[in-house]
Amino acid sequence: MSTPQEGTRARRRVTYARSMRTRLIAGSALLTLALAGCASGGSDVASSPSPTADANAAACSSFGNTTTELGTLITTSTDELGGFDAYKKRLDAVPDRFDKAALQADGDVADRMDALVTNLPDDLANLALSSDDYSADVKRVYNACDAGGYPVDSFAVLSED
C-alpha cells in the first residue's frame, strides 16, 4: 500500500509532466509560427532594388547635375567663373560627364542620354545657338528617368517650350 506522501508525490509528478508537456507544445507552436512568418516574408532579393535600378538612379542624378553645371556655364560670365581658362576647363569636361552618366545607365535612360551626347555641338560655347534641340534632348532624358522611377529635380534646360 502507498502512503499519503507517495500519493502526493505521484500527483506532483503527473502535474509536473502535464505542465512541461503544455510548455513544450506552446513553445513548439511559437517556434512554428515564427518560422512560418520568416518563410512567408518573401525573399530579400525581390524587395531590394536591381543593379539596373541603382545604376539608372545614379546616372539620372549625375546627368541632372551635369545639366545644371552646363546651364551655369552657359548663362554666367567667364569673369564670374574665374576667367576664361577656368570656364573653358569646366566646359570641356561636360561632354565626358554626360558620357559617363550614359555609360552607367541602362535601357531607355541610356538610349536617351546617348542621343543627347551624340547631338551635342562640337563647341559647347555655341550651345546657346542650338539650345532648343539640347533642351528637347534633356527633357527626353528627364522623361525616361521619371518613367523609370528615378525623378531628379536638378535638370536644367536652356530654353522653355
Q: What is the pLDDT of residues 32-78, one digit of tens each?
A: 333 333 333 444 444 444 555 688 999 999 999 999 999 888 888 88
Question: What's the rounded Cα separation, in Å, for the pair 105 and 109?
Answer: 6
Chain-centroid distance, C-alpha 45 = 15
64, 155 contact by CB (below 8 A): yes
Identify the residue whose cell numbers are 545607365.
105
The percentage of residues in the chain with a pLDDT greater than 70, rounded to a whole number, is 63
Does 69 fall in a domain?
A: yes
pLDDT tens for each residue of 65-106: 999 999 888 888 889 989 999 999 999 999 999 999 999 999
Assigned domain for 90 exists: yes
Round to whole Å and give the CA distance between 1 and 14.
19
Q: Domain check: are 8 and 31 in the same one? A: yes
Domain count along the chain: 2
Q: Mean pLDDT, the chain, as a whole number? A: 75
Note whether 22 and 98 are same-domain residues: no
d(C-alpha 122, C-alpha 142), whole Å = 23
Please say whether the beta carbons of 69 and 100 come within 8 A.
no
88 contacts: CB under 8 Å, gap ≥ 6: none
Question: What is the domain range of residue 139?
Answer: 49-147
130 within some domain: yes
* Residue at 82 is within a domain: yes
First to last CA, the chain: 107
Got the DSSP string for 42-94?
Answer: --HHHHSPPHHHHHHHHHHHHHHHHHHHHHHHHHS-TTTTTSHHHHHHHHHHH
- Greatest mean pLDDT among 7-11, 39-43, 53-57, 144-148: 144-148
pLDDT of residue 123: 85
In the three-class reduction of DSSP (H, G, I as helix; E, B as strand; rest coil), residue 50 is classed as coil
Q: Are 65 and 154 in contact (CB under 8 A)?
A: yes
